[in-house]
Amino acid sequence: MHNVKKTPASEAINAAYEAKRKAKLQQFLETRDLIFQKRSRGELDEEILRLTSEVLEKNPDIYTFWNIRRNALISMIQRTGDETDEDYEKRHNELMKNELELTRKAIMANPKSYSSWFQRYWVLEREISPDLKQELELCKTALAVDCRNFHCWDHRRLVVKLAGISAEDELEFLNALIQSNPSNYSAWHYRGMLLMKTQPDLSGHGMEISEDCLSSEFEKILPICSYNAEDQTLWTYCRWLSESACPKGRCKSPVAKEALKGLVRFCEELLNIDCDIPWIYVTLLRTIMLLNGEKTRGYELLQKIKALDFQREQMYDELFRC
């Protein structure tokens, strides 16, 4: 650090740290070389699993080692000719159990490790009787720590598909997450994806969700917006609802038009109370544009937004052109 005088004690500490770091590096290089040597000789055995495990527990992002483990596991789970069903299942389950435990430790070391999540699902697909309920609980726990961990969200969607869980059940799960944390952007995003599947528009107006669903979603989110008006997540979902009702920027459904007009009135009422929240103005501007509102008013709103959030001027200019 600047202006900190070096002392013999601090130099000794730095020297000890550097020596420890070099020792760890040397150990890693020796282990790495041994792994590659065994792979080149085709020795995909228990030892290569042990060696790669030692490294991946501390550094789970070395995808080459995960690839080596997959090749080793594929070779090792092959059934031998004299093996009974019971013996094979026991050996197979033990290998998969150990691999799941390794991925758990790797994910704890780095919750956003692509390779670790990929490996975990790869194992689940090959388990004889995977415990998918427990896997969903693991995802729930991980999302409680970081609700925007998209690696975990992607993994959960794969597990849900593997378990055959319905979209309706997933919506119940999302309702619980949103109720506990309305700012959970990922949960709102996933909700929108599921609604497009479960509540498709059958009116012929080209909407992404049905008219009834659109109305009920506004009824759900607008009260939350009223007491948490500064939360950008909520207004982003409101804009998605509006745009989902207006294919190619045109609102053809009378029900959708009324819903959007209700959103305009809601935004205006909030702005009479809080006039310095740009997300309300952005939602109001976008909704007016979708309803083919006055260009003059849109321009005035744009200038107000840019004054409140001048660092994003170009983004708002682009929004207004759309």
Q: Domain of 293: which CATH number?
A: 1.25.40.120
Mean pLDDT of 10-35: 85
Are residues 296 and 174 part of one domain? yes
Confidence label for 13 from pLDDT (cuts 50, 70 and 90)? confident
Are residues 69 and 207 part of one domain? no
- pLDDT attached to residue 165: 96
Site of tokens 């944390």: 181
pLDDT at 152 over 90: yes
Neighbour count for residue 72 (Cβ, 10 Å): 21
Are residues 245 and 154 part of one domain? no
Confidence label for 2 from pLDDT (cuts 50, 70 and 90)? low
Are residues 191 and 104 part of one domain? no
Q: Which of 33, 35, 65, 64 is nearest to 47 (CA)?
A: 35
- pLDDT attached to residue 4: 55
Dihedral sign for Cα atoms in the order 86, 92, 96, 97 = positive
C-alpha span between 54 and 49 (Å, rounded) = 9
Are residues 148 and 229 part of one domain? no
Are residues 315 and 226 part of one domain? yes
Are residues 218 and 94 part of one domain? no
Are residues 171 and 152 part of one domain? no
Confidence label for 298 from pLDDT (cuts 50, 70 and 90)? confident
Q: What percent of the chain has pLDDT over 90?
A: 72
User: Who has greater pLDDT, 6 or 125?
Assistant: 125
Site of tokens 């290569």: 48
Are residues 159 and 200 part of one domain? no
Domain total for the chain?
A: 2
Per-residue model confidence as pLDDT tens digits over 39-80: 999 999 999 999 999 999 989 999 999 999 999 999 999 988
Mean pLDDT of 279-283: 91
Q: Residue 206 belongs to what domain range?
A: 166-322
